Structure 1
């Protein structure tokens, strides 16, 4: 479905698709519970033997998966299996009680824990709550936390508690090729996509369609309400998109909810400055992004199968340009 007011957004996405060498792209916008723009471009691979991108196409969303982990943590808080996000991770996983002393779940969820990997071990970059650094170390700790407290994998826990109740049938961690998956790049040993031999939810192999990712954003926008049903309490969703970055983190660093990036005036911010206060987003290295704009009752999704950054291409600048254009078009239509 091509909506004339959003043709400029689709044209922009197509232009960048050519610049970065992505073979596939999609745009999906929901506003006021109506799909106002749905657009697909390209094929699953580099030549015409590959499947054309369509509504069933599922992209590897890379780090967007981390918001699914964030929701799992919120569910554990709702269940009472976690007392507080200010509990230290060592209270739940004794293996981290030494190096991660003083590191709380809040620090892990907001990239402010200060733990990184070096020569096969863990070291401190900075004291918890005094800086910000995007590291997968904290994500692995949270993944272990969910497994420890549920006795399930992250993927099975989310399937049972979220995907099934909300009908997210085009979302899941996949380990084998299927026709609807953009799976052509895993033979490349240098692929950004990373390992894909586990369906436990502990790797960057979450495949999601553009419309299911838009539904994911919409669930957060409407606090879990879907077609008059409330399978999960509103508080589960309110919690993950509220500000949780410690006040001790310097103001120039990004602000996060449970992984989600929140609108904030900083050079590292991934939201364009045209997006209103209260907006939030998540993105992955493959070029996929989900933006939630409560002021416009809107969700904006952009998908690529991006595998490299060409010379002169600036990842954060491009994300902000896309977000600003989407915000301008939404504002013009409201």
Structure 2
């Protein structure tokens, strides 16, 4: 009877596994007690008036479903819904994974099927947007070229009332799918396309109904633009503990307790390297709207001291959600970095070194 009921409501039933889940909150494992090398790097003493150096607001480390280390810098606390910046993009991709599992779209579908302004670019597919490879002209700089910046114009000036429409109006400079060009515009086109996949009136609550509520997330705030579309590129706020729930979902291959919330094929897409790309110094290489510790041809791994299966959601000023499947690790790091001195590799290397018997 239970299996029949679950089948009716679309829930895949899985074998019961002896695993820890945050239900309702995370369990604590204090086995590892020496975090001095990690904290001395992440939480170096800082002058409130000095914006240089490594400025960590939150560090949360989960191993196999339990918190093993947690620390915050005032005023951030465990309950603070912190701005995630471009970590929002990977969370948007996770929402789209639920949609794809419901059979509402396929990766090869033209974006114009779901968002009419993209009829000006009929060859752009959903997969192209998820690879940041729409072929549309874009300039992502913030501080260093604000007068030429597409993202500044989209978020703050002439594009702010309808961000997806602003992105769709860019001219095509490459054939879709042929070149990686990091673009918050591509992500906001995905957020607008999401509306076209859903029943009328379902859009506003969909991320909560489809993803946040099943995971027990209650801190989420997601801003919208003047057209009512989610700012999928940038403006999701989550507490560190709630963002870690998304990390645990990914680390456990899209499964949450007894439910396969994301298709295994979607996780595989997220974690597949997009090869028509260029390396981003100090960062990682693109997958399906996630960032991978996999090398491009002829290049080294972006994070050489970290397992190659590591992947992440990354955001402006040092926001990060890392998943290290080899070690069943989920790590959330929120920051306020302004000068580029923070190193993903260095933090992750120190975390692994603090765990007895672990390593790359």
Q: What is the aligned length?
A: 294
Aligned to 2:110: 88
1:160 has 2:209 as partner:
yes
1:7 has 2:36 as partner:
yes
Aligned to 2:74: 42
TM-score of the superposed pair, with normalisation by structure 1? 0.76
Match of 1:25 among 45, 51, 57: 57
- Which has the higher mean CA deviation after the structures are superposed, 208-217 or 70-79? 70-79
Aligned to 1:302: 333
1:319 has 2:339 as partner:
no
Deviation, structure 1 residue 104? 1.3
Q: Which runs of 5+ in 2 are unaligned?
A: 1-27, 139-149, 154-165
Match of 2:82 among 24, 42, 59: 59
Shift of the 9–207 alpha-carbon distance from structure 1 to 2, 3 Å rule, reads same
Contact 2:58-2:333 within 8 A present in 1 as well: yes
Deviation, structure 1 residue 54? 2.1
Aligned to 1:279: 310
Match of 2:183 among 111, 121, 135: 135
Partner SS state of residue 62, structure 1: coil
Aligned to 2:17: none
Deviation, structure 1 residue 24? 6.2
Match of 2:230 among 179, 193, 201: 201
Contact 1:78-1:236 within 8 A present in 2 as well: no
Deviation, structure 1 residue 4? 2.8
Distance in 1 (CA, whole Å) between partners of 2:244 and 2:292 is 18
Partner SS state of residue 283, structure 1: strand
Aligned to 2:16: none
Deviation, structure 1 residue 57? 1.6
Aligned to 1:242: 271
Deviation, structure 1 residue 134? 0.7
Partner SS state of residue 345, structure 2: helix
Shift of the 261–143 alpha-carbon distance from structure 1 to 2, 3 Å rule, reads same
Partner SS state of residue 115, structure 1: coil
- Which has the higher mean CA deviation after the structures are superposed, 151-160 or 117-126? 117-126
1:97 has 2:119 as partner:
yes
Contact 2:98-2:211 within 8 A present in 1 as well: no
Deviation, structure 1 residue 80? 1.6
Matches for 1:89-128 after TM superposition, within 5 Å: 89-98=111-120, 100-117=121-138, 121-128=169-176
Aligned to 1:181: none
Shift of the 261–153 alpha-carbon distance from structure 1 to 2, 3 Å rule, reads farther
Shift of the 320–17 alpha-carbon distance from structure 1 to 2, 3 Å rule, reads farther
Partner SS state of residue 133, structure 1: coil
Partner SS state of residue 334, structure 2: strand
Deviations 1:168-199 (CA, angstroms, capped at 9, x unpaired): 11222268xxxxxxxxxxxxxxxxxxx8x898
Partner SS state of residue 324, structure 1: helix
1:216 has 2:246 as partner:
yes
1:76 has 2:106 as partner:
no
Deviation, structure 1 residue 262? 1.3
Contact 1:154-1:201 within 8 A present in 2 as well: no
Contact 1:220-1:237 within 8 A present in 2 as well: no
Distance in 1 (CA, whole Å) between partners of 2:263 and 2:175 is 33
Distance in 1 (CA, whole Å) between partners of 2:216 and 2:74 is 27
Q: Which runs of 5+ in 1 are unaligned?
A: 44-52, 176-194
Deviation, structure 1 residue 256? 3.0
Distance in 2 (CA, whole Å) between partners of 1:29 and 1:260 is 19
Deviation, structure 1 residue 320? 3.3
- Which has the higher mean CA deviation after the structures are superposed, 210-219 or 270-279? 270-279
Deviation, structure 1 residue 17? 5.8
Shift of the 261–129 alpha-carbon distance from structure 1 to 2, 3 Å rule, reads same
Partner SS state of residue 116, structure 1: coil
